[in-house]
Amino acid sequence: MKQLSTMRRGAGRASRWAPDHASRILPQTPCFHLCASVRHVATAAAAASAGAAASTAPSTRPRRVAAAAATQYASSPSPSDAPSTSSADAEFDFVCPICLQTHFRLPSVPTQSGGLSCGRCQRTFPSGPAYLDLTLTSGVQQKVYRQRSWGGTELFRNPLVSFAYERGWRQGFAWAGFPGVDKEYDIAMSYLLPAASGKVMVDMSCGSGLFSRRFARSGSFSGVIAADFSESMLQQTREYCLAEGGSLGGNNTGSGGGGSAPIMLLRADVGRLPFATGSVAAIHAGAAIHCWPNPQVALAEISRVLAPGGVFVASTFLTAAAPLGQVLGDDNVRPLSQLDPTAAAPYRWWEEQELRDLCAAVGLQDFRRERTWRFIMFAVTKPGSPDASPASEQQPQQQQQPADGASLSSGDFSE
């Protein structure tokens, strides 16, 4: 009885803390008008957290896994050896985020915990049912150095915020003119399909998988990589996929696995994408670019990994002067942007011309967009013909034995 009483007191403290903590965080966000509703969500999250943490929290110390969990191949130093994503069978191709040369190929999310090893860099990256972690510091316990984090990124690593994202947070974007997830999905698909139909696409900064799951269910892609830097967002994506389809594996009927295409969960940094140069058919980033610490570096990485003819599609928030700019011209209202009261928030609101400049600077062309109030969705294309396939760009042959030290680790990770 004494133990039960202690547990009840602990649960009460967690319930009282959650809404107060959320109220300090959420007013800084785009949907600050939904604070009251998300406070309620945060309370529910605190009540559910004990069971959820015990059953589904991702582990950073993977256990042993059979070496056959993935097929790997090693690349030559030439970036033209990038693997193709146009295979009818879903296969997910990655590279070591450090050297960008050692390749990893997996047919699906691993069913057991293990690791992907790069002999060139003497590093092993955790992989498991929760997600692959191909960030630079994954699997490493640093003694002193800590990367300085940016508020716009760290906010979404908070489990309460991740829990609330589809439970009131994302719906609040309507105040800025976001037309709603279904309409946004339709616009995004109109840009994505010409370049990526039947291929693997990447949903970068996927959040809770709001669009990843729809892309998978569409049956238009052979696979979907749901990538985010937030561990808790990836956990939400996994839980939604399992709840809606029973697995992440996909099928050809659209019933199971969250849809007809398999989903691969990936923890990745948009500033150092773990994909080979010229290997990705399409990248989508919904309501994300304003949260990236260095958008210019991120766009350069996106341009690097896009295949010729590949497309990048993104949505974001425009400045407070944007609605007036649609009538009078953005150039004429630019001075008003300096008076924007949200300029000090941990995000960056954009002018349309800024987005055009970012894309043009990294060689992405054919800027087109849909724009309403403070919402904008735009698409740009990597120059080149998607049908061109010179001999120098053919997929490297798979190796029976991993070359250059590439291997799949079946041992434990040490702290």
pLDDT above 90 covers what percent of the chain? 56
Question: What CATH architecture does domain 169-381 belong to?
Answer: 3-Layer(aba) Sandwich (3.40)
Report how far apart the first and last C-alpha atoms of the chain are (Å, whole number). Answer: 38
Q: Considering the chain, what is the average pLDDT of its residues?
A: 76
pLDDT at residue 230 tops 60: yes
Tell me the C-alpha to C-alpha distance, in Å, between residue 88 and each of 82, 84, 200, 275, 388.
17, 11, 9, 19, 18
Which residue did the predictor score with more confidence, 121 or 403? 121
Tell me the C-alpha to C-alpha distance, in Å, between residue 172 and each of 106, 271, 292, 369.
37, 28, 20, 22
3-state helix, strand, coil in the chain (%, to 5): 40, 20, 40
Q: DSSP states of 71-97 as a string?
A: EEEEPPS-GGGPPPS--SS--EEEE-T
pLDDT of residue 239: 95
> How large is the C-alpha radius of gyration of the chain?
22
Please tell me the number of Cα atoms within 13 Å of 197 on its side-chain side. Answer: 5
- Distance between CA atoms of 411 and 221, rounded to whole angstroms? 34
pLDDT band at 386 (very low <50, low <70, confident <90, very high): confident
Weakest-pLDDT range from 31-35, 146-150, 170-174, 176-180: 31-35
The phi and psi torsions of 196 (rounded to 5 degrees) equal -120, 5
pLDDT at residue 365 tops 90: yes
Question: Which one-letter amino acid corresponds to residue 129?
Answer: P
pLDDT band at 64 (very low <50, low <70, confident <90, very high): very low
How many Cβ atoms from other residues are within 10 Å of residue 61's Cβ? 13
- Looking at residues 323-329, what average pLDDT do you find? 92
- Distance between CA atoms of 184 and 99, rounded to whole angstroms? 36
- Looking at residues 87-104, what average pLDDT do you find? 87
pLDDT at residue 74 tops 60: no
Q: Indicate the SS3 state at residue 272.
A: strand
- Looking at residues 378-382, what average pLDDT do you find? 98
pLDDT band at 196 (very low <50, low <70, confident <90, very high): very high
- Distance between CA atoms of 227 and 233, rounded to whole angstroms? 9
Question: Which one-letter amino acid corresponds to residue 86?
Answer: S
Strand partners, 117: 124, 407
Q: Render pLDDT for 116-151 as a digit per residue (tens, 0 to 9).
A: 999 999 999 999 999 999 999 998 888 898 777 766
pLDDT band at 153 (very low <50, low <70, confident <90, very high): confident
Q: Indicate the SS3 state at residue 360.
A: helix
Residue closest to 192 by CA, chosen among 280, 274, 113: 280
Most confident of the following: 9-13, 109-113, 303-307: 303-307
- Looking at residues 218-246, what average pLDDT do you find? 93
Tell me the C-alpha to C-alpha distance, in Å, between residue 13 and each of 7, 10, 24, 27.
10, 5, 17, 23
pLDDT band at 260 (very low <50, low <70, confident <90, very high): confident
pLDDT at residue 410 tops 50: no
114-118: strand order across its sheet: 123-127, 114-118, 407-409
- Looking at residues 264-271, what average pLDDT do you find? 97
pLDDT at residue 346 tops 60: yes
pLDDT of residue 116: 96
pLDDT at residue 71 tops 50: no
pLDDT of residue 344: 57
pLDDT of residue 388: 58
- Looking at residues 157-184, what average pLDDT do you find? 94
Q: Indicate the SS3 state at residue 307.
A: strand
Q: Which residue is it, tokens 């055009």?
A: 356
pLDDT band at 15 (very low <50, low <70, confident <90, very high): very low
- Distance between CA atoms of 195 and 281, rounded to whole angstroms? 6
- Looking at residues 61-69, what average pLDDT do you find? 33
How is the chain split into domains, by residue range?
A: 2-54, 69-140+392-409, 169-381
- Distance between CA atoms of 174 and 155, rounded to whole angstroms? 20
- Looking at residues 373-383, what average pLDDT do you find? 97
pLDDT of residue 2: 46
Q: Which residues contact 294 (CB under 8 A, 6 or more apart)?
A: 271
pLDDT of residue 399: 32
pLDDT band at 262 (very low <50, low <70, confident <90, very high): very high
Q: Which residue is it, tokens 């400045």?
A: 319
Strand partners, 132: 266
Residue closest to 164 by CA, chosen among 26, 16, 15: 26
- Distance between CA atoms of 274 and 232, rounded to whole angstroms? 20
Weakest-pLDDT range from 6-10, 129-133, 159-163, 194-198: 6-10
